[in-house]
Amino acid sequence: QVQLQESGPGLVKPSETLSLSCTVSGGSMSGYYWSWIRKPPGKGLEWVGHVYSSGSANYNPSLNSRVTISVDTSKNQLSLKLRSVTAADTAVYYCARMGYGDVRHFQVWGQGTLVTVSS
């Protein structure tokens, strides 16, 4: 059974870069889309972007200029970099996997990690 585990700093200073990793265990990354989704306190879910196992990525236009999502299938890891963060980027960040093939909903989720942007 595939499991996802997010990791990274819980506190990031304004204007710096938020960097998170997601380690995939129990399965291969090949053939799937891998996403980052966030949930600010008291708000709903927001898709940050996704990357296919080949490395091709798509991002939410609202974050496009600041975000990079990459995958390292040899290490079974997904990465997120969000530049020039502000307090508005404070959120629980989840990594998630879509299904195989033409499946565009999230079947597997990590537990999430809280990132606070504050000086």
Partner 1 sequence: EIVLTQSPGTLSLSPGERATLSCRASQSVSSSYLAWYQQKPGQAPRLLIYGASNRATGIPDRFSGSGSGTDFTLTISRLEPEDFAVYYCQQYGNSPLLTFGPGTKVDIK
Residue of 1, 10, 41, 44 interacting with partner 1 (CB under 8 A): 44
**Minimum separation from the CB atom of position 60 to partner 1 (A):** 6
Q: Which residue has tokens 């196992």?
A: 53
Residue of 46, 66, 73, 76 interacting with partner 1 (CB under 8 A): 46
- 37 CB-contact burial (10 Å; exposed 0-12 / middle 13-18 / buried 19+): buried
Q: Is the CB of 20 or the CB of 96 nearer to partner 1?
A: 96
Residues 6+ apart with CB under 8 A from 50: 33, 34, 35, 36, 57, 58, 69, 98
Residues forming the site for partner 1 (CB under 8 A):
35, 37, 44-47, 50, 58, 60-62, 94, 96, 102-107, 109-112
